[in-house]
Amino acid sequence: MGHLKKNVLLMPSYMLIIGTLIAYLQKKTAVVTSDIIFIVAASFLFFLIPWGIKKYNKNIDEYILSLVIFLCSMSLIMLLRLKVSLFKPQMEWIGLGLVLMLLTIVFSAQLLKLLEYPYLLGLASILIIFLVVVFGTEIGGNRNWIIMGPFQVQPSEYAKLLVLGFLTAYLQENKNLLNLPNRKWGFLYLPPLRFLAPLIMIWSMALLMFVYQRDLGSALLFFGMAVMMTYVATSNKSYMFLAAVFFILSGFASYMAFGHVRVRFDIWLNPWADPMGKAYQIVQSLFALGYGGLFGAGYWHGFPDMIPAVQTDFIFSAIGEEFGLLGVLSVITAYLLIFFRAMKISFSCSDEKYKLLSFGLSATMLLQAFIILAGVTKLLPLTGITLPFISYGGSSMTASFITIGLLLAIGAKEKNRA
């Protein structure tokens, strides 16, 4: 069994090395011999750090680690294919993310103590989002970046972790009050407004700020994770209905008030009305996925460069074109397996706060993956959020590794307790 577990950690590194060798043999690529040495070292790092984490705490879930490294390997071989100049920066972000994951595990006890201060976490998340409103820079149509010299930071990636912490602590401390059915509004059973006010405030401010920033993906993500965690904590269906009404009304108001919301919605309804203009990205994405078929065109044999921003929002379409349905199913399966392993951690928790937090972390990552995958396949209106561990970007990568670090730390803590 130990030999099998060691191979589980090694397999994603093999994939990176094989993908790199294929890219090296292509005449079109800018990969040179010195890059091969760097990539072999990176592959070794992919095994060394997870192995070190496992040695540090034998109760760490090595299968989650392996799945994460698989997604990172897919990211790197696709960046070699799409834009080789981004490979080294992405590898550096992954390396930093691995270090942050390790530090998160080591200092998890101190980080989890922050759950004792829910309002501090909530105010910190609102402050971060507000700073983006004031000092943010618009990139790719979304005003969700802060530029500091050579660095570009997307604060919403870290704000969602603070919001998850706030929701965990607030819902756990007040779940009995939130379930008081002393106010009946038709078929809805709700507690007094003063108990709902903090929750509604966080929902409303996050949604309004993100819509103002044109960051529709983050607005949907924040709202979705708030609704999921509220229902899991209270089991009150009235909140689900209230959230659905709130979402429909706010969506209609945003459609009427903001032109960029109308554009995204109209493109979703009928991208063929302007296939060479505003809908060009989504149309090319659909063509790429269709061209990939079952087995794909083959690595380096597709035309993913025709999709604008393919290395960020549409990298999934490039995977679908060159690796086909089997390739995209492997990526989707990896996210589902991470979610199921994380849910196993959640169910094993004896502490209610840890149970709710681990659910929120895993469900939010799966929801984020679903939102962007639904966007590039036209199941939902297109959003600007990233595909965890695969899309190019430092903020998303490091925040995702911190998320995994918290999940692994909670799982190891519960196993140690048992």
β 151-153/188-190 pair status: unpaired
From 319, 331, 325, select the one nearest 77 (Cα to Cα). 319
pLDDT of residue 139: 63
CA 300 remoteness from chain centre: 27
367 token code pair: 């929801």
pLDDT of residue 28: 54
Q: What are phi and psi of 153, to 5 degrees?
A: -120, 135
> Helices 33-56 and 62-82 sit at what angle, rounded to 10 degrees?
160
148, amino acid identity = M
pTM, 2 dp: 0.90
Least confident span in 138-142, 225-229, 250-254, 263-267: 138-142
How far apart, in whole angstroms, are the C-alpha atoms of residue 197 and residue 288?
A: 46
* pLDDT surpassing 70 at residue 54: yes
* pLDDT surpassing 60 at residue 34: yes
* pLDDT surpassing 50 at residue 130: yes
Neighbours of 348 (CB within 10 A): 16
DSSP state of 206: H
Length of the chain: 418
How far apart, in whole angstroms, are the C-alpha atoms of residue 299 and residue 312?
A: 18
276 token code pair: 């060479």
* pLDDT surpassing 50 at residue 4: no
209 token code pair: 């700020």
Q: What are phi and psi of 63, to 5 degrees?
A: -70, -40
CB 395 within 8 A of CB 388: no
From 262, 260, 334, select the one nearest 67 (Cα to Cα). 334
How far apart, in whole angstroms, are the C-alpha atoms of residue 61 and residue 42?
A: 22
CB 100 within 8 A of CB 49: no
Tens of pLDDT, residues 252-278: 877 787 777 788 888 888 888 888 888
Least confident span in 104-113, 160-169, 176-185, 233-242: 176-185
Q: Which residues in 173-194 are b (16+ Cβ under 10 Å) and which e?
A: ebbeebbeeeeeeeeebbbeee
Tens of pLDDT, residues 335-344: 999 999 999 9
β 142-148/137-139 pair status: antiparallel
How far apart, in whole angstroms, are the C-alpha atoms of residue 410 and residue 407?
A: 5
pLDDT of residue 260: 72
How far apart, in whole angstroms, are the C-alpha atoms of residue 220 and residue 156?
A: 12
How far apart, in whole angstroms, are the C-alpha atoms of residue 261 and residue 123?
A: 27
SS3 153: strand
Percentage above 90 pLDDT, the chain: 27
Q: What are phi and psi of 294, to 5 degrees?
A: -80, -45
Percentage above 70 pLDDT, the chain: 83
pLDDT of residue 1: 46
**Mean per-residue pLDDT of the chain:** 82
CB 296 within 8 A of CB 323: yes
